[in-house]
Amino acid sequence: MPAITHHIPDPMIAAYASGSLPHAYSMVVASHLSYCRDCQAALGAHQAVGGALLETSACAALTQDAKPKLMAQLDAPAAPEPVYDAAGIYPGPVMQSLKGRPLRWKTLGMGVKQDILFEDAAGSARLLYIPAGQAVPDHSHNGLELTLVLQGSFSDETGRFGVGDVEIGDEDLDHTPVADPGDPCICLAATDAPLRFKALMPRLLQPLFRI
Amino acid sequence: MSKDKTYSELTVWLLAVRDHRDRAAFGDMFDFLAPRLKGFIIRCGARPALAEEIVQDVMLTIWRKAAMFDPHKAQASAWIYQIARNRHIDIIRKESRPVPDELGEDPGAEPDASQILALEQEALHLKQAIQQLHPDQKEMIEKAYIGDLTHQEISTQTGLPLGTVKSRIRLGLGRLRKELKGLR
Ligand SMILES: [Zn+2]
């Protein structure tokens, strides 16, 4: 178990428990929870509050045949659900999102690679591979950004982030994360806007845009 | 020590389902839980017909996954709450929610019956604390825990300024936390 120093803020854990956190962020929160006993304890506290609210909830009557219909289903065989367990450096939530497919690293230049795991209107989540000494590619900060380290470490103006640590960035955070010496740094990153890496621009167009 | 005196009804039913596939206990649990779940899910924004479909799905999930319930780790109501939120969201979004890996036992802590009792006590006190909350505070806390509602959305829906929403949630949660601290 790595020593974790950068955690998920408590309100975000509550939002994860209640399901109000967008999917891409939930992937990072669930992945951090896969390393962190402290944050799992915080989740347990929120689930306990949720459970108490459920138990004291006002009732709504069910239709007459709801119970017999359910009791009749108890013996029906459940459709087998695929199980995706943690593998290597990748925690369960990353494997769940890959759904058994192999990694597909796409080069962004300077040895930096990415694999987009999930994208919807509310945000996107991707794996980033950054060789030692390389900067995490420059991207626009349109909103909240979560970066969780899965292998190696990176450092920036705010500190050092090792395996299991999560950095929370927003528009106010102007930072230049650089992968530390040693193993390449592999991260799971979620943003509420698609990351616009400069290197994504087709190479032929780059001279026109002076990138 | 009698299990029935110290464990909540919900825990006793769930353990009977887990250990003995006890249909009578499951039936009793349905009678208690299903109407509360339906009320809860309707207040999460689902129409009654969809809410009932989700209730059935949640109850069936409880029956099938009961083996995963561990009273050393979570209260029955907390475990069911998370299943209810997960199933609701999975059904609406058709995308499975990311679920964290289980961490093994804390090397410093041997699982024993006192852990279960502490969690049972916590659940009991939480319920009492919620029942004593001012209705405004209860409503706010409920919205934060049942819904696809962010603080901003609560503010929009209730017409209360965002600062008020946040401070009410904080006040209510602070009071609940104090209850929890007294127990731990
Ligand atoms: Zn943590």
What is the identity of the amino acid at B165? Answer: V
Q: Is A66 close to B106, i.e. CB distance below 8 A?
A: no
Strand ranges inside B28-165, DSSP E: none
The arithmetic mean of pLDDT across residues B17-37, rounded, is: 97
The two three-digit tokens of residue A128, written as one number: 């980033």
Residue A177 lies in a domain: yes
- Rounded distance between C-alpha atoms, residue B87 and residue B61, angstroms: 9
Residue A211's pLDDT band, with cuts at 50, 70 and 90, is very low
Q: Please check whether residue A198 is in contact with residue A38, taking contact to mean a CB–CB distance below 8 angstroms.
A: no
Residue B152 lies in a domain: yes
Q: Do B20 and B74 share a structural domain? A: yes
Residues of A in contact with B149 (CB under 8 A): 20
Query: Is A67 an interface residue toward B (CB < 8 Å)?
Result: yes
- Rounded distance between C-alpha atoms, residue B85 and residue A87, angstroms: 27
Residue B114 lies in a domain: no
Q: Please check whether residue A28 is in contact with residue A167, taking contact to mean a CB–CB distance below 8 angstroms.
A: no
pLDDT digits (tens, 9 = 90+) for A47-71: 988 999 999 988 999 999 999 999 9
Query: Is B126 an interface residue toward A (CB < 8 Å)?
Result: yes
Q: Do B7 and B51 share a structural domain? A: yes
Q: What is the DSSP string of A15-29?
A: HHHHT-S-HHHHHHH
Strand, coil or helix: A154: strand
Q: Please check whether residue B70 is in contact with residue B11, taking contact to mean a CB–CB distance below 8 angstroms.
A: no
Instruction: Name the β-bridge partners of A116.
Output: A126
Query: Is B146 an interface residue toward A (CB < 8 Å)?
Result: yes
C-alpha distance from A211 to closest chain B C-alpha (Å): 37
Q: Is A18 close to B48, i.e. CB distance below 8 A?
A: no
pLDDT digits (tens, 9 = 90+) for A83-116: 899 999 999 999 999 999 999 999 988 899 999 9
Residue B147's pLDDT band, with cuts at 50, 70 and 90, is low
Residues of A in contact with B146 (CB under 8 A): 18, 50, 53
Q: Please check whether residue A192 is in contact with residue A171, taking contact to mean a CB–CB distance below 8 angstroms.
A: no
Q: Tell me, rounded to whole angstroms, the distance of Cα B56 from its chain centroid.
A: 17
**Residue numbers of the domain that contains A164:** 101-209
Q: Do B57 and B10 share a structural domain? A: yes
Q: Do B79 and B16 share a structural domain? A: yes
How many angstroms separate the first and last alpha carbons of chain A?
41
The two three-digit tokens of residue A119, written as one number: 């994208």
pLDDT of residue B65: 95
- For helices B23-43 and A37-55, what crossing angle results, to 10°? 90
pLDDT of residue A67: 97
Q: Is A53 close to B106, i.e. CB distance below 8 A?
A: no
pLDDT of residue B164: 60
The two three-digit tokens of residue A94, written as one number: 């990353």
Return the DSSP state at A6: S
pLDDT digits (tens, 9 = 90+) for A116-174: 999 887 788 999 999 999 987 655 456 778 999 999 999 988 899 999 999 988 766 66
pLDDT of residue A201: 38
pLDDT digits (tens, 9 = 90+) for A174-203: 678 899 999 999 999 998 765 444 333 333
Report the residue count for chain A: 211
C-alpha distance from A78 to closest chain B C-alpha (Å): 8
Round the average pLDDT of chain B to a whole number and report it.
81
Residue A69 lies in a domain: no
Residue B106 lies in a domain: no
Whether B159 shows a pLDDT value over 50: the answer reads yes
**Residue numbers of the domain that contains B20:** 1-97
Q: Cα dihedral sign for B29, B33, B38, B41? A: negative
Residue A55 lies in a domain: no
Q: What is the CATH number of the domain that holds B152?
A: 1.10.10.10
Residue B179 lies in a domain: yes
**Largest CA-CA distance found in chain A, in angstroms, rounded:** 70
C-alpha distance from A193 to closest chain B C-alpha (Å): 18
How far does residue A26's CA lie from ligand 1's centre (Å)? 14
pLDDT of residue A1: 58
Q: Burial of A115 by CB count in 10 Å (0-12 exposed, 13-18 middle, 19+ buried)?
A: middle
Q: Do B90 and B15 share a structural domain? A: yes
Q: Do B148 and B86 share a structural domain? A: no
Query: Is A70 an interface residue toward B (CB < 8 Å)?
Result: yes
pLDDT of residue A198: 38
pLDDT of residue A202: 37
Q: Do B137 and B82 share a structural domain? A: no
Residue A84 lies in a domain: no
pLDDT of residue B1: 42
Residue A210's pLDDT band, with cuts at 50, 70 and 90, is very low
Q: Do B89 and B4 share a structural domain? A: yes
Residue B28 lies in a domain: yes
The arithmetic mean of pLDDT across residues A26-51, rounded, is: 92
Q: Do B92 and B14 share a structural domain? A: yes
Q: Cα dihedral sign for B4, B7, B8, B12? A: negative
Instruction: Name the β-bridge partners of A132.
Output: none
Q: What is the DSSP string of B71-126?
A: TTTS-HHHHHHHHHHHHHHHHHHSSPPP-PPPP---TT----HHHHHHHHHHHHHH
How far does residue A36's CA lie from ligand 1's centre (Å)? 5
Q: Nearest 5°: CA angle at B127, between B121 and B128?
A: 90
Residues of B in contact with A95 (CB under 8 A): none
Closest CB from A1, A51, A70 relative to B59: A70
The two three-digit tokens of residue B85, written as one number: 């939120």
Q: What is the CATH number of the domain that holds B41?
A: 1.10.1740.10
Q: Do B179 and B88 share a structural domain? A: no
Q: Is A53 close to B81, i.e. CB distance below 8 A?
A: yes
Q: Do B164 and B90 share a structural domain? A: no
How many independent structural domains does chain B possess? 2
- Rounded distance between C-alpha atoms, residue A145 and residue A133, angstroms: 22
How many independent structural domains does chain A possess? 1
Strand ranges inside A30-122, DSSP E: 106-109, 112-120
Q: Is A61 close to B142, i.e. CB distance below 8 A?
A: no
pLDDT of residue A89: 97
The two three-digit tokens of residue B54, written as one number: 């989700």
Distances (CA, A) of B36 to A49, A61, A98, A103, B172: 15, 9, 36, 43, 22
Residue B41 lies in a domain: yes
pLDDT of residue B101: 93
pLDDT digits (tens, 9 = 90+) for B105-145: 766 666 778 888 888 888 888 888 888 877 877 777 787 78
The arithmetic mean of pLDDT across residues B64-82, rounded, is: 94
Q: What is the DSSP string of B138-169?
A: HHHHHHHHHSS--HHHHHHHH---HHHHHHHH
The two three-digit tokens of residue B8, written as one number: 């909540």
C-alpha distance from B36 to closest chain A C-alpha (Å): 4
Residue A161 lies in a domain: yes
Distances (CA, A) of A67 to A80, A177, B22: 24, 56, 15
Q: Is A30 close to B10, i.e. CB distance below 8 A?
A: no
C-alpha distance from B1 to closest chain A C-alpha (Å): 25
Distances (CA, A) of B180 to A11, A48, B75: 17, 10, 14
Q: Do B137 and B93 share a structural domain? A: no
- Rounded distance between C-alpha atoms, residue A28 and residue B149, angstroms: 20
Closest CB from B64, B88, B141 relative to A53: B141
How far does residue A85's CA lie from ligand 1's centre (Å)? 20
Whether B154 shows a pLDDT value over 90: the answer reads no
C-alpha distance from B68 to closest chain A C-alpha (Å): 14
Q: What is the CATH number of the domain that holds A143?
A: 2.60.120.10
Would you tell me which residues 15-34 of chain A have a C-beta closer than 8 angstroms to some C-beta of chain B?
15, 17-20, 23, 26-27, 29-31, 33-34
Search chain A and give the residue with CA nearest B138: A53
